[in-house]
Structure 1
Amino acid sequence: MKASDWQQIDTVLLDMDGTLLDLHFDNYFWLQHLPQRYAEHHGLSTEAALTELNKSFTSLRGTLNWYCLDYWSELTGLDIIAMKRDLQHKIGFRPHVEDFLALLRQHSKRIVIATNAHRAGLALKLEQTGLDQLVDRIISSHDYREPKESQAFWQHLQREEPFDRERTLLIDDSQAVLESAARWGIRYLLTIYHPDSQQAPNRDSRFPGIDHFNELDIG
């Protein structure tokens, strides 16, 4: 994005996990911690537990249940929220996020977090980071019972948080969400190449992107 583009943007929609917050917390929880605890609870090997969980990961991806902690608690027989709280210390910002949000405010942009995170998990992250104090509003897809991958999510969002599609930027690490937003007509779309600090960047995207927010010239 060029500095001149920012003059055309009034609203900045931001994903949370993998965009503002380090996705390492979520990846570690779902791919390592949960399979270990699930294996212990059901008397399985960790490999067998992960294989079994992967079936649900694959079938549910992109649906609201994929993001619903209550659903996963029922499916696994484990208290997912309590398990996440045990690892709450791993929740943290990606580099330069706080400075970026401060710059957006200085330039009078409307800052709205649009996340697929379940409200219970969201509460843990806000408690750990104070992120809600740095933005104008946070909306969870669970409020609408539609994931961001669905066109219905954007319909609900536009009714509740009116924005000009031609003057709105969405930053998100999910390619499926960016595709959905593109279909809805949001003009400015940007992806995150390095959502998990413990993994290599992935630049396989049809959307322009950044590794970190200090690459953006707001002007």
Structure 2
Amino acid sequence: MGDKRSNLFQLLKAGTTTIINALGAAIFTYALSLKLLEITGSALGYGVNIFIGPIIGLILSPIISKVVDKYPRKNVAIVAEIALVICLAIFLIIYPLAVKTNLLVVSVVFVSISNICARFFSISYLSSTPDIVSKDYLQKLNAIQTTGVAIAGIAALPLAGYIYGKIAFEYIILIEIITEVLTIFLTVITKFKAHRNEEKAHETGRKLIEILQGDIVGFNYLFYIKLCYMI
């Protein structure tokens, strides 16, 4: 009974972490894209987030997977999120100046760094399902995480459009910082177990493939947006 309750609590924490992180990141990504489209009037500006993420993922995936397999995944995830919060805070501070100078260039630098942090977190956390729950609950956790990310992706676009039209972009950055801080808190209170290196490598590789497949979808979406803009 105690083990079941513990696993259910772990499922709740991990599922909440995944949904909050995915939803916050997706809303911010769309909102930043809308801001760049508004300022630059270019589809390239709109698609900068979608374009840079997959490129960074493809280039750095071997390094990220090695780091995730070498060091405790919980530590990697927390450090990555802390770095992302710092990056967001800096972006929030320099944003007013960037709008007056060249927001696109600043955003490219920011998106590049933030994507590196996000990749480290995503791969380390999503590949940690064997560390979070027992074997009997692995399928449930994977289903919750997959469904949560999918729902976040669907809900993020209309939410981002609504929020973008209602509040200043600085507050959207602040909302993203809050979601990342919540992600850190939930990750800290979630228990991770140690597993053998070969088990870790297998799960990391599987999640890395899933994320890279998502990158391919991102490239296709960018092409679609560019085509629509040209038409």
**Do Structure 1 and Structure 2 share a fold, with TM-score over 0.5?**
no
Structure richer in helix, relative to its length: 2
Structure richer in strand, relative to its length: 1
Greater RCO, 1 or 2 (C-alpha within 8 Å, sep 6+): 2
